[in-house]
Amino acid sequence: MNLIIDVGNTRIKIAVFNNAEIIHNEIITTEEFYFKALKLLEVYSCKNAILSSVGNLKKSQINELNSKINLIQLDYISKIPFKNCYKTPKTLGVDRIALVSSAASQFPNKNVLIIDAGTCITYDFINEKGYYLGGAISPGIKMRYQSLHQFTKKLPLLETKQPEGLIGGSTEECIHSGIVNGVINEIDSNIESYRKKNKDLTIVLTGGDVNFLSNRLKNGIFANPNFLLQGLNTILTYNL
């Protein structure tokens, strides 16, 4: 059994894999982390673990966990199942490394575009030769709502909502239309641009906003909220 820990910008995902199958998966807070991790180690008799962190986790918690299980902390020098051609590998986020590892494992010999719609929207491309070439980063949906509120004097902070149409008839409707339709058009446009340059392109959508966006995009995609966790499990297995 493998224990998989993904510490994101706003939440922690923790999962247990039996080979390639997820048998436990939940979202927890930082305060719950150590207790939950120890509980899962006990319940499932996990022997190996991997930690991917782009957020804040106390070093003492990591050290305590490392004393109880074979723990791999993912970074840019970890062994990975693809060729990393990123110009600045030290700055490549571990979340993106995990996503590309998942693509390399699940779609070998394919051109794959991974779109992770979370705090940020990231685009990552791995070609059919297994070469990771990079991608793009833009603000996520909630970040766009927050920025309109924080950097203006009068615009309200709204919760994510599907706009009723293209033309907003009130300030709130205009915000929803601008943000949600803007994100959808951005993603669709990027997909079309990648498709023009790469034959037989496979597109994967994942991240916290995957369910909100998947039915609104016009392009054919694989929607998989667990794609990053699967990538971490791939890396862990690859390093044992």
Binding site, by residue number, is 6-13, 86, 93-96, 116, 119, 171
Rounded CA separation 235/5 (Å): 12
| Residues contributing to the annotated binding site for substrate | 86, 93-96, 171
Q: Give the residue carrying structure tokens 């690859």.
A: 238
Give yes or no: 188 in active site: no
Give the H or E element holding residue 1. none
Tell how strand 12-18 and strand 70-73 pair up.
Answer: unpaired
According to DSSP, residue 155 is labeled P
Give the Cα separation of 204 and 109 in Å (integer).
15
- How many CB atoms are located within 10 Å of the residue 115 CB? 26
In this structure, the chain runs to a length of 240
Q: Tokens 């997820």, residue?
A: 22
200-203 long-range Cβ contacts below 8 angstroms, 24+ apart: 200/110, 200/111, 200/128, 201/111, 201/112, 201/113, 202/103, 202/107, 202/110, 202/111, 202/112, 202/113, 203/112, 203/113, 203/115
- Write down the catalytic residue from 95, 124, 188, 200: 95
Torsions phi, psi for 125 (to 5 deg): -125, 125
Residues marked as binding for ATP? Answer: 6-13, 119
**Which residues have a catalytic role annotated?**
95
